[in-house]
Structure 1
Amino acid sequence: MTGSDTLSRRAVLGGMTGAAAAAMLHTPAMAAVSLDLAKYRGKVVYVDFWASWCGPCKLSFPFMQQLAGRYPANDLAVITVNVDRQRAAADRFMQQVRSNLPVIYDAAGDLAQTWKVADMPTSLVFDRKGTMRFRHQGFFPGKVREYDGHIAQLVREG
């Protein structure tokens, strides 16, 4: 996790610590949409920010589908966050990539701004305690083994 991620977390959490902080970790009070990871407590969570106009995003969806299918639901949750301003574009994209992964629509970019997401796609990988452990900026097929390794490591940590 980078220093800027720590600052973002502090801003979101308002100085809370412990279980209260973990429950509120990803739900900025002022955001129009929220990403409440508290309901995924005890699971590794892979959150992917994407847009319909993003070529590498199209490459990442088969990887994420395989990832979601490889692990039991009690070990891993894969959540996608779309940043398109027009939901119709996002819906067309999801049909093209034939994905059934959950989507949070962030048309105003609130979540993307909270997590300082500038590159598409960007994936944030959280451990079972809700701590962001890995950040993948962009999607590179040559790095799939590395991405898989990050998930496997966190799942093994139990």
Structure 2
Amino acid sequence: MLRALFILIVLTLPFVSAASEVENKITVQWNSLPGESLNQHKIKFAELKGKVVVVDFWATWCEPCKEALPHYMELHKKYKSKGLVILAVNEDDSVADRDAYLKKTPYPFPVFADPGRKMLETFGVAAIPTVFIFDRNMKPVTFVRGFDAKKAQAIEKSIQDLIIAK
């Protein structure tokens, strides 16, 4: 049911912003992670301060999401030592599908479930995949909905700019 809702949103509301955006200012405020990481990569919210943070909303039934995750693995490898933290937030209805996927495809960064879709709501996500990028002060800098080569380049450029701006 949720999958159908996301597909409907993607098809009927392609111009709806994934976050409150006025004059290119994104207003996303959050102060906690959605529980424990599903894949044993432990992190506390307080540890994010001073880091460039990427938050990716994804699901196993979403093909662009599964295309994006390997890209985030590469970004993690490339920029982790320079202060990048990637957090993946899974929005699957099926715990079995999610767990089977994560067992087959492990990721080197924390992957979270989103009980009750609270984080999805906090971020105002209209469709997945959606990725948010935060600066070292936890200020939202940009978000990107969908995934393709052009968007992958834009995401990496944003990360590079924030890492250099240290």
Q: TM-score, normalised by structure 1?
A: 0.77
Give me the CA root mean square deviation: 2.3
List structure 1 runs of 4+ shifted beyond 4 angstroms. none
Partner residue in 2 for 1:129: 137
- CA drift of 1:72 comes to 3.3
The residue number in structure 2 matching 1:46 is: 54
Deviates more, 1:69-78 or 1:92-101: 92-101
Sequence identity (%): 30
Shift in Å, 1:97: 3.5
Contact map agreement 2:26 2:141 (CA 8 A) in 1: no
2:31 maps to what in 1? 26
Indicate whether 1:2 and 2:21 are aligned.
yes
Q: What are structure 1's unaligned runs of at least 5 residues?
A: 10-24
Give the alignment of 1:55-66 within 5 angstroms: 55-66=63-74
List runs of 5+ in structure 2 lacking aligned partners. 1-19, 37-43
**CA contact 2:132–2:140 (8 Å) conserved in 1:** yes
CA distance in 1: counterparts of 2:35 and 2:26, whole angstroms: 17
> Using CA pairs below 8 Å that are at least 6 residues apart, which structure has the higher relative contact order?
2
Aligned residues: 138
Secondary structure at the counterpart of residue 42 of structure 1: coil
Q: Give 1:145's aligned residue.
A: 153
CA displacement, residues 37-83 of structure 1 (integer Å, 9 cap, x when unaligned): 43211110011010111000110011000000001345100110001
When normalised by structure 2's length, the TM-score is: 0.74
